[in-house]
Amino acid sequence: MFRKSRALVGLDIGSSVVKAVELKAVGKGFRVTAFGTEPVPPDSIVDGAIIDAGAVAEAIRQIFEGNEAFTTKDVCASLSGSAVIVKKISLPVMTASELDESIYWEAEQYIPFEIHDVNLDYQILDAGTGPESSGTMDVLLVAVKKEKIGDYSGVIAMAGRTPVIVDVDAFALQNAYEVNYGLELGKSVVLLNVGASAINVNIVQGDQSVFTRDIPTGGNAYTEAIQKDLDLAFDAADALKRGVPIDGATFEEAQPVIRAVTESVLLEIQKTFDFFSAASLNQFDRIVLSGGASRIDGFKEMLEARFGVAVEEFDPFRTVTWDVKAMDVDPIEIGSSAAVAIGLALRRVGDR
């Protein structure tokens, strides 16, 4: 009865880097007791689809090999992109059990996939039972393609781990945010996680996610543009993107390309914000930026200038502390790209 909830490893299988985190509850907060990262070979995961399962499984296996700090094989992983549909729907007010019975039938009209092909989850955002109720309730519907869950579970199993929960990147990000920044009632915060192949957007008001979307661009777009423009191999372009000089090209030569890609990325973000504002009249108070590619030279400044909103770097270690022994990488170096993994590690079996 007073069972301690079981620890899980948060496993963020990114298309460029796998990150794994194990946390321990200490007092009112959390401490990192194990942490590891491993690069994923380019093109092993494309648009969220696992192309080279062997390579991805090997990257996961490498993280745990010889790392005694991880105490469990159970992992919580996540998906994003086109395999995930998140929708806020309004339904007539009903009891929790009535909702549970009718949700598949209700969901059918909102999900662009065969209902038998998805795993469905939902959360009641507003039960509609308050004094201002209009007779409807708001429900957040999450549908994930079973095929994708199968693919991800497959590589995790191949790596000798046990997939226990499959979450969604954007929600893991929100979990990590809440634990580090607390709840700010009445504020709208845009969580923007810029990875290698996708930008996860989650607009959060208080403890509710009011809008999520994954934009299919990110750090890879920079590498590809630099490769093409300066006629370089992937590794050379990748180094240059990070400001590391290479043989035959200077960072200054890459800067105009980088700026041009940032412009096009900002345009995509603009479209997403426009869509959100059209759907809801609320505006947002600040942008909290994470992900490896958010470190692109000038990105934060250009984002700030474009939207006229304060942009803050997401610090996933703001309240989460760490054991030096647990880290095979420097948390400062990892920085905000650990956010999703931290959020996943916060999940517990049986959570909703």
Ligand X SMILES: Nc1ncnc2c1ncn2[C@@H]1O[C@H](COP(=O)(O)OP(=O)(O)OP(=O)(O)O)[C@@H](O)[C@H]1O
Asked whether position 14 contacts Mg ion by CB under 5 A, the answer is yes
218 binds Mg ion (CB under 5 A): no
Give residues 50-89 in contact with Mg ion (rule: CB under 5 A).
none
Among ligand X, Mg ion, none, partner that 219 touches (CB below 5 to 8 angstroms by kind): ligand X
Pick between residue 174 and residue 220 the one whose CB is nearest to ligand X.
220
Residue number of the CB atom closest to Mg ion:
195
The one-character DSSP state at 142 is E
Instruction: Select from 8, 20, 3, 331 the least CA-distant residue to 180.
Output: 331
Query: What is the Cα gyration radius of the chain?
Result: 21
For residues 265 and 245, give the distance between their C-alpha atoms in angstroms, rounded to a whole number: 24
Residue 44 interacts with which of ligand X, Mg ion, none, CB < 5 to 8 Å by class: none
Q: Vertex 42, ends 337 and 62: CA angle to 5°?
A: 65
- Distance, in Å, from the CA atom of 214 to the CA atom of 269, rounded to the nearest integer, reads 10
Contacting residues toward ligand X, per CB under 6 A: 14-17, 195-198, 218-220, 238, 241-242, 291-293, 295-296, 337
343 lines the binding site for Mg ion (CB under 5 A): no
* Nearest residue (CB) to Mg ion, 137 versus 334: 334
The total of other beta-carbon atoms located within 10 Å of residue 225's CB is 18
Nearest to 224 by CA among 212, 211, 241: 241
CB of 288 to Mg ion, least distance (A): 15
Binding mask 147-176 for Mg ion (x = CB under 5 A): ------------------------------
CB of 230 to ligand X, least distance (A): 16
- What number of helices (H) and strands (E) belong to the chain? 10, 16
Nearer to Mg ion, 88 or 241 (CB): 241
> Given the rule CB under 5 A, which of 116-124, 175-183, 188-196, 267-275 is the region that contacts Mg ion?
188-196
- Closest approach of Cβ 176 to Mg ion, in Å? 12
Q: Which does 343 bind (CB under 5 to 8 A by kind): Mg ion, ligand X, none?
A: none
Report the nearest approach of ligand X to the CB of residue 13 (Å). 8
In the complex, the smallest distance separating the C-beta of residue 106 from ligand X, rounded to whole angstroms, is 31
Of these partners, ligand X, Mg ion, none, which one is at the site of residue 217 (CB under 5 to 8 Å by kind)?
none
Q: Which of ligand X, Mg ion, none sits in contact with 37, Cβ below 5 to 8 A by type?
A: none
d(CA 30, CA 180): 10
Closer of 51 and 305 to Mg ion (Cβ)? 51
Name which of ligand X, Mg ion, none residue 259 binds, using a CB cut-off of 5 to 8 Å depending on partner kind.
none
**Minimum distance from CB of 161 to Mg ion (Å)?**
18
Q: Angle 251-279/234-241 helices, nearest 10 degrees?
A: 70
Residues 195-214 within binding reach of Mg ion (CB under 5 A): 195
206: left (phi over 0), alpha (psi -120 to 50) or beta: left
Q: How far apart are CA 340 and CA 146, in angstroms?
A: 21
The size of the chain, in residues, is 352
Closer by beta carbon to ligand X, 118 or else 170: 170
What is the three-class DSSP state of 243?
coil
Min dist. Cβ of residue 58 to Mg ion (A): 19
Classify burial at 31, counting beta carbons within 10 Å of its beta carbon; exposed 0-12, middle 13-18, buried 19 or more: middle
Q: Please state, in angstroms and rounded to a whole number, the distance separating the CA atoms of residues 262 and 305.
A: 12
The rounded distance, in Å, linking the Cα atoms of 266 and 263 is: 5
* Among the listed residues 78, 155, 148, the one whose alpha carbon sits nearest the alpha carbon of residue 113: 148
Six-digit token pair at 69? 């700090």
Q: How far is the CB of 23 from ligand X (least distance, A)?
A: 19
Closer CB to ligand X, residue 213 or residue 241? 241
Residues in touch with Mg ion (CB under 5 A):
14, 195
